[in-house]
Structure 1
Amino acid sequence: MKLSRTSVSMGVAAVAICASQFAAADDSFWYIGGNIGQSRAKIDDARIANQLLGAGLASPSIANDDNHSAYKLFGGYQLNKNFALEASYFDLGQFGYTATTVPAGTLNGNIKLRGVGMDMVGILPLTQKFSAFGRLGMNYAQAQDSFSSTGSVASPTIPNPSKNALNYKAGLGLQYDVTKAFGLRAEAERYRIDDAVGNKGDINMISVGLVYRFDEKKPAPVQKEAPAPAPVVEAAPIFVIVPVIKLQRYCSILDIQFEIKQDEIQREEKEKLAVVGTFLNKYPDTTAVIEGHTDNVGSSEYNLKLSLRRAEAVVSYLVDTLHIAPARLSAVGYGEARPIADNSTREGQQMNRRIDAVIACATDVAGLKVVPARMTMALEMDFDPNKTDIQPQYYGELHEVANFMKANPDVTAAVEGHSSNMVGKVHISAEKSMEISSLRANKVMDYLVEKEGISRSRLSAEAYGRTRRVAYGTTLEGQQENRRVNIIFNYPKK
């Protein structure tokens, strides 16, 4: 029997081991990396023995080499937090066997495997640093076989056959982000392979590796304090609570609304944007985040895209018409995730179809005289876990709030209390969160009345519990951001 017949006995059969692991990522960026690990194949000893028997040879023993070091190099583009495309070069190593025959002889077979792959990667963030991912794609692998024999085993007619073939690949993994740029991976992958003599099988690879991200979206730059008060505007706003830039005591919020499923700016709304443009041109060190929102009519995916289009339309108007530098503006779409009114009513849906502009503004409000305004100022205060006491570092800011209200007797203020859904790893009930946020708001209101002499009729306390969190609360920093009181100044409508 020629070796070309016996060589088919080198079967590479499936070993179904796919470890359940996880991976992580953020928004859109390019990345590269590399993995190193162990590959494993299952050698089909029964098939080898049967082929030898067909050639009139007995095989009392077969020694297998079914493990080998393996590696891959990869690069990809993450489109969003849940999806990426990834290309790779892989080397799965070498596998083989040695069969001893009767009459005396040996048959040796080896296969080397390497190639390239292209995967779709689905990502499931678990925490800020961990995320699960799964991959499904194609591999184009080159199989290089080699065969040799001694003794009674016939010499091969083609001792070194090779073959290139396209097959599927799949895998699961875990990634831990050490920093924003570097991550650690652990993966289990399966590669479907054709050898050079007509067999198909699976090679499994377990590996660990490093990931480096670049072109990642950076956070907004730290804002400088503007040297002058907020701009002149004309109508009372509808408010939405947003995280306040930490280096600013005050921020400005603009509200404009859209018609159903529309992203075109109406003529009357352009007047409001002119006020924003005037303010940004007057104070060139300020920046603005334009936030788009929708009601809950339609799919969440559609609403998310619609809200981003609305925000981008406002940014384009500010850049093209009002000549604001693009670097000072950023657009964010929140879809239906941050309603400010009840979506079960037509009026509530209209209020939720909106744009908010969060603009850095002056910290010094001394002597500021209020005129009819579309913009408001919000003061943020943090609290310790489950505490309602006002921290002493806020006394000075509350004194400034009081002086501002005394200088502008027509202004009223809403004191809004908020809390987190967790303290450390302990979940807080909705009822307890609401109670704590109410106590916080009332404590601040009482301070302004009793210590600063502001009439109670000009103040209102509102509790939101954990319903308007500005962070997920899975980290201590996020929990701290959620434990807050916002003071919203309401300008008179004239």
Structure 2
Amino acid sequence: MKKVVLGALLGLSALPAVANEGYFSGEVLLGKTDQELKSDFGDTDGDDSSFGIRGAYNLNKNVAFELGYMNHGEIDDTYIDEFGDTINDRFSSTAFNLGVKGVIPFENGFSLHGRLGLSFWDVELEETDSAFPGETFKGDDSGTDFYYGIGAQYTINEQFTIGAEYTLSEYGIKSGGDFTGLDADIDVKTLALSAGLNF
């Protein structure tokens, strides 16, 4: 994943040579992420505060290439399974996102946008089961899946922007490694506010 991110940064740095109308921008994102883990052993869900940073090369007023990092927070859920045992699941996820933003600008500084790209995600899971006292199952997995989203932005002046966005992704965990015997999907839904700076 580090090679992919490094390659993306080098690619973004080369863009001014082919499009001198563009400019760079950076954003800080704060929001709430709902995560739902769905597997054959049961479902676990919850939400937590999330945060991230994102850099972009704005090719023109309609298209931007983006690279960002999101920490989706931690979910801690306790439930009774079909055997009457108490299960506690705690999991968290992070992602590097590489994608494209399409922008529809309006008058007075407002714009709508859509996002599409790839999430290079990492998930950590910790589980206890009352049927196995004193034992803790731990797992760590990573992969690549698509993300997409919609949002709105207001340009305060030439330098500063604020916005709101809703982003969706699904991380597919396949049985193997730390997750032997577990196939699962994690639905990740993030509603975030952003503050940006144009360079």
TM-score (structure 2 length as normaliser): 0.78
Asked which structure has the greater RCO (Cα within 8 Å, sep 6+), the reply is 2
| Structure 1 residue runs without a partner (length 5+) | 1-26, 50-63, 215-494
- Deviation track 1:49-107 (CA, whole Å, cap 9, x = no partner) reads 8xxxxxxxxxxxxxx65111111100010001110000001001112421225876411
Q: Counterparts of 1:162 and 1:86 in 2: how far apart (Å)?
A: 26
CA distance change for structure 1 residues 168 and 101 in 2, over 3 Å: closer, same or farther? closer
| Structure 2 residue runs without a partner (length 5+) | 1-20, 174-178
Q: Counterparts of 2:189 and 2:82 in 1: how far apart (Å)?
A: 33
Q: Is 1:205 aligned to 2:190, yes or no?
A: yes
Q: Counterparts of 1:123 and 1:156 in 2: how far apart (Å)?
A: 53
Tell me how far 1:184 sits from its aligned partner.
Answer: 0.2
Q: Counterparts of 1:148 and 1:47 in 2: how far apart (Å)?
A: 13
Structure whose CA Rg is larger: 1
Q: Is 1:180 aligned to 2:165, yes or no?
A: no
- What is the alpha-carbon root mean square deviation over aligned residues? 2.4
Equivalent in the alignment of 1:316: none
- Deviation track 1:387-418 (CA, whole Å, cap 9, x = no partner) reads xxxxxxxxxxxxxxxxxxxxxxxxxxxxxxxx
Matches within 5 A, 1:473-488: none
Tell me how far 1:181 sits from its aligned partner.
Answer: 0.2
Q: Counterparts of 1:30 and 1:161 in 2: how far apart (Å)?
A: 38
Equivalent in the alignment of 1:171: 149
Letter in 2 for 1:111: F
Letter in 1 for 2:110: F
Letter in 2 for 1:213: N
Equivalent in the alignment of 2:13: none
Equivalent in the alignment of 1:107: 87
Q: Counterparts of 1:159 and 1:106 in 2: how far apart (Å)?
A: 14
Q: Counterparts of 1:39 and 1:98 in 2: how far apart (Å)?
A: 19
**Could you tell me whether the CA contact under 8 Å between 1:147 and 1:156 is conserved in 2?**
no
Letter in 2 for 1:79: L
More helix by share: 1
Q: Is 1:116 aligned to 2:96, yes or no?
A: yes
Q: Counterparts of 1:102 and 1:186 in 2: how far apart (Å)?
A: 40
Q: Is 1:36 aligned to 2:30, yes or no?
A: yes
Q: Counterparts of 1:67 and 1:28 in 2: how far apart (Å)?
A: 37
Equivalent in the alignment of 1:48: 42
Equivalent in the alignment of 1:91: 71
More strand by share: 2
Tell me how far 1:192 sits from its aligned partner.
Answer: 2.0
CA distance change for structure 1 residues 176 and 110 in 2, over 3 Å: closer, same or farther? same
Q: Counterparts of 1:167 and 1:33 in 2: how far apart (Å)?
A: 23
**Could you tell me whether the CA contact under 8 Å between 2:116 and 2:148 is conserved in 1?**
yes
SS of the aligned residue for 1:95 comes to strand
Q: Counterparts of 1:181 and 1:147 in 2: how far apart (Å)?
A: 46
SS of the aligned residue for 1:154 comes to coil
Q: Counterparts of 1:136 and 1:147 in 2: how far apart (Å)?
A: 33
Equivalent in the alignment of 2:12: none
Matches within 5 A, 1:217-232: none
TM-score (structure 1 length as normaliser): 0.33
Equivalent in the alignment of 1:135: 115
Letter in 2 for 1:121: K
Q: Counterparts of 1:72 and 1:200 in 2: how far apart (Å)?
A: 22
Tell me how far 1:177 sits from its aligned partner.
Answer: 0.7
SS of the aligned residue for 1:66 comes to strand
The number of equivalent residue pairs is 172
| Pairing partner for 2:62 from 53, 58, 82 | 82
- Deviation track 1:33-60 (CA, whole Å, cap 9, x = no partner) reads 11100111235598528xxxxxxxxxxx
Tell me how far 1:111 sits from its aligned partner.
Answer: 1.2
Q: Counterparts of 2:84 and 2:41 in 1: how far apart (Å)?
A: 20
Q: Counterparts of 2:188 and 2:41 in 1: how far apart (Å)?
A: 18
SS of the aligned residue for 2:42 comes to helix
**Could you tell me whether the CA contact under 8 Å between 2:25 and 2:196 is conserved in 1?**
yes
CA distance change for structure 1 residues 101 and 89 in 2, over 3 Å: closer, same or farther? closer
Q: Counterparts of 1:174 and 1:81 in 2: how far apart (Å)?
A: 14
